[in-house]
Amino acid sequence: MPIHPDSRSRYPSSWASISRRIRFARAEGRCECTGQCGHSHGGRCEAVHDAHHPVTGSRVVLTVAHLDHTPEHNDEANLLAMCQRCHLAYDQVEHAESRRRRRDAARGQCRLFEGGAR
């Protein structure tokens, strides 16, 4: 997935090579998700880079997800090659929260108690 410009500085300068190694050397060009995304794959997702996705039919672009949602944490155990469908589903809550923060900032609003009752 494209790195949002606001987050680019959180990734190491070697991110392109780390990502390539995870996607193509370790995962051999196939999504490594076994249900972490919330979809029931019945094992490992069958999506293959540059092929048609077995569920959506769209062209697969393999990405790398940080399992703890922390771009600075690049240990291989924290990284998983994922197709767009799995990665978007896995990061759904994080993406919604980021959108909310950017929207609130654009409006000049802030939350007094992050993560608390609203």
In a domain, 112, yes or no: no
Phi, psi at 94, each rounded to 5°: -60, -45
Domain membership flag for residue 33: yes
Condensed to tens digits (0 to 9), the pLDDT of residues 25-57 reads 999 999 999 999 999 999 999 999 999 999 999
Is residue 18 included in any domain, yes or no? yes
19 within a domain of the structure (yes/no): yes
Residue ranges making up the domain that contains 81: 8-106
Is residue 3 included in any domain, yes or no?
Answer: no
Greatest C-alpha distance within the chain: 46
Global pTM reads 0.78
Distance CA 101, CA 99 (A): 5
Tens digit of each residue's pLDDT (9 = 90 or more) over 61-97 = 999 999 999 999 999 999 999 999 999 999 987 766 7
> Using CA atoms, how far apart are residues 18 and 35, in angstroms rounded to an integer?
23
Domain annotation covers residue 118: no
Paired strand residues for 82: 63
Residue 94 lies in a domain: yes
User: To which residue do tokens 């959506």 refer?
Assistant: 56
**What is the count of structural domains for the chain?**
1
Spell out the residues 6+ positions from residue 1 whose beta carbon is closer than 8 angstroms to its own.
Answer: 63, 84, 87, 88, 91
79-82/63-66 β-pairing: antiparallel
Q: Do the domain assignments include residue 113? A: no
